[in-house]
Amino acid sequence: NAGVTQTPKFRILKIGQSMTLQCTQDMNHNYMYWYRQDPGMGLKLIYYSVGAGITDKGEVPNGYNVSRSTTEDFPLRLELAAPSQTSVYFCASSPPGSYEQYFGPGTRLTVT
Amino acid sequence: GENVEQHPSTLSVQEGDSAVIKCTYSDSASNYFPWYKQELGKGPQLIIDIRSNVGEKKDQRIAVTLNKTAKHFSLHITETQPEDSAVYFCAAPPWGLTGGGNKLTFGTGTQLKVEL
């Protein structure tokens, strides 16, 4: 199993541009999550999904959108990128009945 | 929702010494407390967790203790080695939030440095 994979690893965006961060898991986990990690701030939940077709907002959803058309994929969309979205983004997944989350390697995004 | 505070933010120890990281939580209904380790350039990985029906759990050189009355739990690493250098996060479920999904609220992290 590859586990949780994320692409790209690094990206530089200009203010106002849009992009999609890709996340795929091959463990057949129902639950998936998107976090952002800022220095000294820990991990903040952006969006999560409990299964295909079901998504919900986390703690910091503004400026982001998600979709979950399949169990495997959970892309995160940034519209009109802003400098405040400069961060490291992590995708994670979890099987139902477990709180253990399996994280991807992250995407480092810079908005200038 | 759950508020999780973690201390210290940085910790430097000599190889072979012990390291202790502490977290406090706000929701007395929380019953699951994991610790994650994040190595440089990687995503966090679960290293140990504890449920509220036990006070301590050990796994080789790492242990977690829980004090439900005081609402805090701690990570203990004994005989530290250079490969223990990483960022460590505590977490707890935000029971006050709706929507399920087994969400976790993470602490702000502790940068542990083990010096030779």
Q: Residue B69 burial by CB count (10 A; 0-12/13-18/19+): exposed, middle or buried?
A: exposed
Residues of chain B positioned with their CB less than 8 A from the CB of A101: 44, 46, 104
**Chain B partners within 8 Å of A45 (Cβ):** 103, 105
**Contact call for residues B42 and B54 (beta carbons, < 8 A):** no
- Tokens describing residue A89: 């983004």
- What's residue A41's pLDDT? 82
Chain B interface mutation, best of A31, A50, A55, A100, highest count of B Cβ atoms under 10 Å: A100
Q: pLDDT tens, B66-93? A: 999 999 999 999 999 999 999 999 999 8
Do residues B8 and B109 lie in contact, with contact meaning Cβ atoms separated by under 8 Å? no
Q: Do A42 and B49 touch (CB under 8 A)?
A: no
Residue A79 half-sphere exposure toward CB, CA atoms < 13 A: 6
| DSSP state at residue B8 | -
Q: Taking CB atoms and an 8 Å limit, are A42 and B100 in contact across chains?
A: no
- How does pLDDT run across A83-99, given as a tens digit for each residue? 999 999 999 999 988 88
Residue in A42, A56, A98 nearest the CB of B108: A42
Q: How far is B65 from chain A (nearest CA, A)?
A: 18
Residue of A nearest to B93 (CA): A99
Asked if B6 and A42 come within 8 Å (Cβ–Cβ), the reply is: yes
Mutation site for B-interface testing, chosen from A34, A35, A41, A101 by largest number of B Cβ within 10 Å: A101
Q: Is A106 left (phi over 0), alpha (psi -120 to 50) or beta?
A: left
A31: amino acid identity, one letter = Y
Q: pLDDT of A32-59, one tens digit each?
A: 999 999 987 889 999 999 999 999 999 9
| Residue A31 binned pLDDT confidence (cut-offs 50, 70, 90) | very high
pLDDT of residue B31: 86
**Which token pair is B1?**
């929702």
pLDDT at position B16 over 60: yes
- CB-based contact, B41 to chain A, within 8 Å: yes
Question: How far off is chain B from A97, nearest CA to CA, in Å?
Answer: 8
How much of chain B, in percent, has pLDDT values that exceed 90? 78
